[in-house]
Structure 1
Amino acid sequence: MTAYTPLSGLPYPQPTDTANLPLHFQSMAEAIDSRTILRYANAAARDAAVTTPAAGMVAWLSSPGQLTYYTGTLWSPVAPAPVFLYNNDAGTTASTTPAETLTGATGDPLVASFVAPPTGKVIVTVGSWMFSSAASNGYMGATIKKVSDNSVHLASSIDRAANVYNTDRASVSSQFLVTGLTAGTVYSATPTYWSAASTNTVSYDNRFIRVDPMP
């Protein structure tokens, strides 16, 4: 009767088993196969090959160069990495509602795409050098959307925005927690810019957004 190793449950033959070396080697190889680090071109290739993953399986994806593991319900990065985007092209806005682009700037919008971790939580940080044309508020926030249908998960808000209230340039930032994300789903975080008054122009430079997955 075939016996099994105590830790990983790998099969090995006993003296009383049928003398069939190819069969015994095949059983051992198939048992080990799912316990090694699997390698695939991308997530689609992994999902096509591993149709019934088991909790603890590990797979390397050549694109985007990421080590993933199966939690029991979804594939997740072994070590979720932050996403950071930066734009040093200056621009302005007089919009009184959050806008994703600035007048006179190139490279907008800054769309930071990320996969929600198993916790469903990320920390978003936005920052910029900012100043206003008058003594009035200028803001920089971020909108969080689900990429698949472009639905808004969390809209820009003054409560979560970096804020400046003067005509002197200042380096400001804001950091906030996003919760309730669906684990394994792709989202985007996009900076937004707006002014408290249409008569006030807000200037921005050296803008950035960063998304840190919460373990």
Structure 2
Amino acid sequence: MTAYTPLNALPYPQSTDTANLPLHLQSLAEAIDSRTVLRYGTAALRDAAITTPAAGMVVWLTSPGQLTHYTGTVWAPVAPVPVFLYNNDAGTTTSTTATDALTDAAGDPLVASFVAPPTGRVIVTVGALMINSTATTCYMGATVKKVSDNSVFLASSIDRAAMLYHTNRASTSTQFLVSGLVAGTAYAASPTYWTAANTTAPNTVTYDNRFIRVDPVL
């Protein structure tokens, strides 16, 4: 009768077992297989191959280059790390509603892709060097979307925006907590830009040295 190791329950044959070396090696290989660091190209390929994951399984994903583990309920990053994006190409906007792309700026929109940690919470920070053409308030916020269907999880809002009311250039930033994310799910955060309406003169806002950072809350 096959016996098992005390720690990982790996099978090994007894002297009374049937003399079938290939079968015994197959049993051992299959038991070890799920305990190694598995490798898949994407989360979709992982989920298609591992239909009944066990808590503690570890998988490396080539895209986005991340080590994940199964918590017993979801796949989550083994060690979530901050995501930081920076763009030093200045651009402008006259929009009075939140937009994720500036005029005459390369590299927009900035998209900070991340996987929600087991807590379902991250801190989003945005900032830029900002200047108004008139004494009107301008804003920089962020929108968080679910990657799988591009649906908005948290819309950009004045309540969570960096603000400037001046015609002098100033560096401004803000950060806010995003909670209720589904652990192990891919999301994307993008900066947004807009200005308050000015009834006396056209208003153009310039943004430079822009950044967005997403920090997992563990």
Same fold (TM over 0.5): yes
1:201 corresponds to: 204
C-alpha spacing 1:59/1:148, structure 2 compared with 1 (3 Å): closer
Q: Deviations for 1:78-131, whole angstroms, at most 9, x for unmatched residues? A: 112222222111112222221212222222211222222222111111010012
Runs of 4+ residues over 3 Å off in structure 1:
none
What CA distance in whole angstroms lies between the structure 1 residues aligned with 2:147 and 2:46? 21
Shift of 1:179: 0.7
The amino acid that maps onto 1:20 is: N
Shift of 1:23: 2.1
Structure 2 gap segments, 5+ residues each: none
2:8 corresponds to: 8
- Normalised by the length of structure 1, the TM-score is 0.91
C-alpha spacing 1:62/1:100, structure 2 compared with 1 (3 Å): closer
Matching of residues 78-93 of structure 1 within 5 Å? 78-93=78-93
What CA distance in whole angstroms lies between the structure 1 residues aligned with 2:166 and 2:141? 18
The amino acid that maps onto 2:215 is: D
2:106 corresponds to: 106
What CA distance in whole angstroms lies between the structure 1 residues aligned with 2:148 and 2:39? 26
What CA distance in whole angstroms lies between the structure 2 residues aligned with 1:70 and 1:183? 11
Shift of 1:12: 1.6
1:157 corresponds to: 157
What CA distance in whole angstroms lies between the structure 2 residues aligned with 1:158 and 1:179? 18
Alpha-carbon RMSD across the aligned residues, in angstroms, is 1.7
Matching of residues 162-181 of structure 1 within 5 Å? 162-181=162-181
- Normalised by the length of structure 2, the TM-score is 0.90
Matching of residues 32-181 of structure 1 within 5 Å? 32-181=32-181
1:212 corresponds to: 215
Q: Deviations for 1:17-59, whole angstroms, at most 9, x for unmatched residues? A: 2233222222111111111111223323322322221111111
C-alpha spacing 1:19/1:148, structure 2 compared with 1 (3 Å): closer
Structure 1 gap segments, 5+ residues each: none
